[in-house]
């Protein structure tokens, strides 16, 4: 595959990324975790940005609201290395005038990752809080929680605790498998698959499937055999990027990135130019953005391919368009918002 980079903007502490669709056109979003802006670029050329908000900033995650004309939810005011009690969830609505209406709908201290999982036309909200209280940066004596609710319309969002006791509750990714949608949540206790109700009066389900400290996780069938591979960052903000497969009922480590460096922070399962891969990134050491592919499928052998070094990505997501894919990268350590256009070789 061929990858070409486009620099978008200098954005200090660039952290969160996602995309929405407004009036039939895609807008790519990138936002700072510091005090500052969220910016958007519009298809098809993504050459000019406009401001979604100037502040307050502190954005950890953003997620589009299905079935709307570009409305999305975003974390704001998650600022400091501890004492994040002011963190909140905001509803954002694009306006016909070109601006955005931003309204706080949920005050949830330490909210870091969240998502909307749609089942039967109903949007189920899942949020992960990194902790419950912190007296200092390294105080983990008050574990985080998984919060859930149902998102029905803009306005106050009622939530409840689904599971607590999750220390360093940092990792989240969405998994759609065999027609079902799940959230994968990771923490010091391991990895959990969280499944929303299948019916309006149904119950959420939580199933633990890994039992060692995991910072982040993503899953994809990388070799096409019908079974998932799982890429992990270990432990929290950890120094290892690994890939596992379940063989004979036990997880077997298939791959470990050759660079052992603290602060791996990106792990995404996606297809690039039709090929299933894991995208990874690290904020220390060589600060690489890379992808992991199957060099050989039977027996499975994986390799890491460098996209760019010296960028230190915090998060990334993939947008699929006709004839190309786009890696949206929040290159935090380089204070850079960037796109990587992927086409077949």
pLDDT tens-digit map of 190-227: 999 999 999 888 999 999 999 999 999 999 999 999 99
pLDDT tens-digit map of 255-289: 999 999 999 999 999 999 999 999 999 999 999 99
- 107-134 mean pLDDT: 96
pLDDT the model gives residue 277: 98
| Lowest mean pLDDT, pick from 129-138, 166-175, 189-198 | 129-138
Residue 83 pLDDT more than 60? no
pLDDT the model gives residue 326: 98
Residue 80 pLDDT more than 60? yes
pTM over 0.85: yes
pLDDT the model gives residue 344: 96
Residue 187 pLDDT more than 70? yes
pLDDT the model gives residue 79: 85
Residue 85 pLDDT more than 90? no
E strands, 130-274, are 144-151, 160-166, 171-177, 180-187, 190-195, 205-210, 216-220, 229-234, 240-247, 250-256, 264-272
Where do the structural domains in the chain lie, given as residue ranges?
228-345
- 289-314 mean pLDDT: 97
Average pLDDT of the chain is: 96
pLDDT the model gives residue 81: 58
Residue 82 pLDDT more than 80? no
Residue 311 pLDDT more than 70? yes
């Amino acid at each position: 595959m061929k990858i070409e980079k486009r620099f978008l903007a200098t954005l200090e502490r660039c952290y969160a990324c996602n995309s929405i669709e407004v009036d039939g056109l895609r807008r790519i979003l990138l936002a700072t975790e510091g005090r500052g802006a969220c910016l958007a670029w519009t298809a098809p050329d993504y050459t000019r940005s406009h401001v979604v908000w100037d502040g307050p900033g502190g954005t950890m995650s953003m997620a589009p609201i299905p079935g709307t004309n570009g409305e999305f939810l975003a974390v704001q005011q998650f600022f400091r290395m501890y004492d994040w009690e002011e963190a909140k969830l905001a509803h954002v609505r694009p306006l016909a005038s070109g601006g955005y209406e931003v309204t706080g709908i949920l005050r949830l201290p330490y909210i870091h990752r969240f998502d909307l999982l749609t089942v039967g036309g109903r949007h189920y909200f899942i949020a992960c809080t990194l902790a419950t209280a912190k007296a200092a940066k390294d105080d983990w004596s008050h574990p985080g929680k998984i919060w859930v609710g149902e998102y029905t319309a803009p306005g106050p969002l009622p939530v409840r605790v689904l599971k607590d006791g999750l220390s360093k509750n940092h990792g989240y990714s969405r998994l759609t498998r065999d027609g079902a949608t799940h959230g994968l949540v990771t923490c010091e206790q391991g990895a959990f698959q969280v499944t929303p109700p299948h019916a309006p009066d149904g119950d959420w389900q939580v199933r633990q499937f890994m039992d060692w400290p995991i910072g982040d996780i993503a899953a994809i069938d990388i070799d096409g055999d019908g079974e998932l591979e799982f890429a992990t960052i270990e432990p929290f903000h950890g120094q290892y990027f690994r890939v596992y497969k379940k063989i004979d009922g036990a997880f077997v480590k298939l791959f470990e990135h050759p660079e052992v460096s603290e602060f791996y922070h990106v792990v995404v399962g996606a297809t690039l130019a039709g090929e299933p891969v894991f995208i990874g990134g690290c904020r220390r050491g060589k600060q690489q953005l890379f992808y992991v592919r199957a060099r050989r499928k039977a027996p499975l052998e994986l390799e890491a391919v460098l996209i760019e070094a010296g960028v230190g990505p915090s998060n990334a997501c993939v947008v699929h368009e006709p004839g190309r894919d786009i890696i949206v990268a929040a290159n935090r350590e380089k204070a850079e918002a960037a796109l990587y256009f992927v086409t077949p070789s």
